[in-house]
């Protein structure tokens, strides 16, 4: 974490991209009047065009400045990082473009936040840059969008409703409706195509990570399909980055208890979808392993930058958590609008401002959103962002 004087509190890198432009608008609209911030990217003319539209959005929109930096120019990235407390990035796929900026932030002690949902990238960044970030005090906080804030903070919010110092079990059930952008689609295809490399990076991280604290255990629930908690659908194990992030938060914080177990599921209504979805995903993953198949999938997904405002307005998500332990059963829910863009841009903007402006736990290295920002970010999002609710809190033996 930077302690020297800097020109900016926050720099948003990738401000002219689809999600980047939305994040810029959120910073302008939600940032305090005293926020010192800048937008950054390769093309100064495009950045100036973005800046020109911000003055009427909010007090912070009148103060934004412009920096130029390029992922292929390490010196420009370091210069950008040295001028700020926090760099937030929307430049993906992160497996292709993300590491030079992570390296610059880790080396200069600057906090970093992004919206990646790519497990391999996160594992590789831990292997390559966590130790240096610990030395410099940099907080490297990945997955500050729909991947994985609603799930990470939602599980934490659920744990806070349960007794302390007892074994806890939490299950997260995800429902969502939205349209992915081309960038999200490309990231998914690249992740499918690198399944082997992702498995290798994960195994190396497990080999090198410190052992769990004495007397504590964090495990995944067996990945079996089950009925959804309201009995109105089917819950399919969802092997995204989100349960990995939840378990990493649980390993870091004693509040999750001596024995924490977590399961993560997608909820579907139709039995046809419940049976067919794993088959379709398996076929896509197999096709993506071949270069010709990967290239074909990428061409099929080349459909523009992202959904328009009307389509985003009709999009939504709900993540319901069921937590048990210490004789209690609680049901909570995180809900919001368009998950991939409107809510993701809000969550990244709030994460960047939280890292820059709020009083936070003393952490460094690659840390999760809960580990780095926890209660402070939860408070911010309760005002501007997805909402967190307790739906049920009863003795466990009364749950039915």
What is d(CA 309, CA 147) in angstroms, rounded to the nearest whole number? 21
Tens of pLDDT, residues 307-335? 889 999 999 999 999 999 999 999 999 99
pLDDT at 396: 84
Summarize the confidence of residues 66-78 as an average pLDDT: 97
Q: What is the pTM of this model?
A: 0.93
Q: Is the pLDDT of residue 4 over 80?
A: no
Concatenating the DSSP letter of every residue in 315-384 gives -EEEEEEEEEETTEEEEEEEEES-TTTHHHHHHHHHHHHHHHHS------EE--HHHHTHHHHHHHHHHS
Count H helices, E strands: the chain? 16, 15
| Cα separation, 88 vs 38, whole angstroms | 11
pLDDT at residue 276, as a whole number: 61
Using DSSP bridges, classify how beta strands 65-68 and 139-141 pair: parallel, antiparallel or unpaired: unpaired
Task: Give 230's pLDDT tier (boundaries 50, 70, 90).
Answer: confident
pLDDT in tens, 271-304: 655 556 666 666 666 766 767 776 776 676 654 5
**Residue 57's pLDDT is what?**
93
Question: Domain 8-145+342-382, what architecture?
Answer: 3-Layer(aba) Sandwich (3.40)
- Cα–Cα distance measured from residue 111 to residue 144, given in angstroms and rounded to the nearest whole number: 13
Look at residue 211 in the predicted model and tell me its pLDDT.
Answer: 87
Q: Give the number of residues written for the chain.
A: 400
Query: Which of 23-37, 80-94, 299-313 has the lowest average pLDDT?
Result: 299-313
- What tens digit of pLDDT does each residue of 197-214 get? 889 999 999 999 988 888
Quick: pLDDT tens for 129-144: 999 999 999 999 999 9
């Amino acid at each position: 974490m930077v302690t020297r004087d800097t020109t900016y509190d926050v720099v948003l890198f990738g401000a002219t991209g689809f999600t980047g432009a939305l994040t810029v608008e959120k910073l302008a609209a939600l940032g305090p009047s005293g926020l010192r911030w800048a937008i950054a990217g390769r093309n100064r003319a495009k950045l100036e065009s973005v800046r020109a539209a911000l003055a009427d959005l909010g007090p912070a929109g009148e103060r934004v400045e412009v920096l130029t930096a390029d992922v292929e120019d390490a010196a420009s990235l370091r210069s950008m990082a040295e001028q700020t407390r926090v760099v937030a990035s929307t430049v993906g796929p992160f497996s292709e473009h993300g590491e030079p900026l992570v390296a610059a932030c880790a080396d200069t002690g600057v906090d970093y936040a992004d919206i990646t949902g790519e497990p391999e990238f996160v594992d590789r960044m831990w292997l390559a840059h966590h130790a240096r970030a610990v030395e410099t005090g940099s907080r490297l906080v990945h997955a500050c969008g729909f991947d994985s804030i609603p799930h990470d903070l939602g599980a934490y919010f659920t744990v806070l409703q349960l007794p302390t110092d007892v074994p806890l079990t939490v299950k997260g059930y995800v429902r969502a409706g939205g349209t992915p952008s081309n960038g999200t689609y490309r990231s998914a295809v690249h992740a499918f195509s690198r399944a082997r490399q992702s498995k290798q990076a994960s195994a190396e991280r497990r080999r090198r990570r410190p052992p769990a604290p004495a007397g504590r255990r964090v495990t995944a629930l067996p990945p079996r399909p089950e009925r959804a908690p309201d009995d109105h659908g089917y819950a399919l194990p969802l092997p995204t980055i989100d349960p990995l992030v939840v378990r990493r938060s649980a390993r870091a914080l004693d509040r999750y208890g001596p024995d924490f177990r977590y399961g993560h599921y997608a909820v579907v209504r139709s039995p046809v979808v419940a049976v067919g979805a794993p088959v379709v995903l398996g076929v896509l993953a197999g096709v993506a392993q071949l270069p010709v198949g990967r290239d074909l999938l990428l061409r099929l997904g080349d459909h523009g930058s992202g959904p328009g405002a009307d389509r985003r307005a009709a999009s939504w998500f709900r993540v319901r958590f069921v937590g048990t332990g210490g004789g209690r059963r609680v049901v909570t829910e995180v809900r919001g609008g368009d998950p991939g863009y409107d809510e993701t841009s809000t969550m990244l903007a709030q994460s960047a401002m939280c890292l820059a402006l709020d009083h936070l736990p003393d952490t460094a290295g690659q840390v999760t959103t809960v580990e780095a920002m926890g209660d402070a970010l939860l408070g911010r999002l309760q005002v501007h962002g997805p909402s967190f609710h307790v739906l049920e809190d009863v003795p466990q033996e009364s749950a039915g």
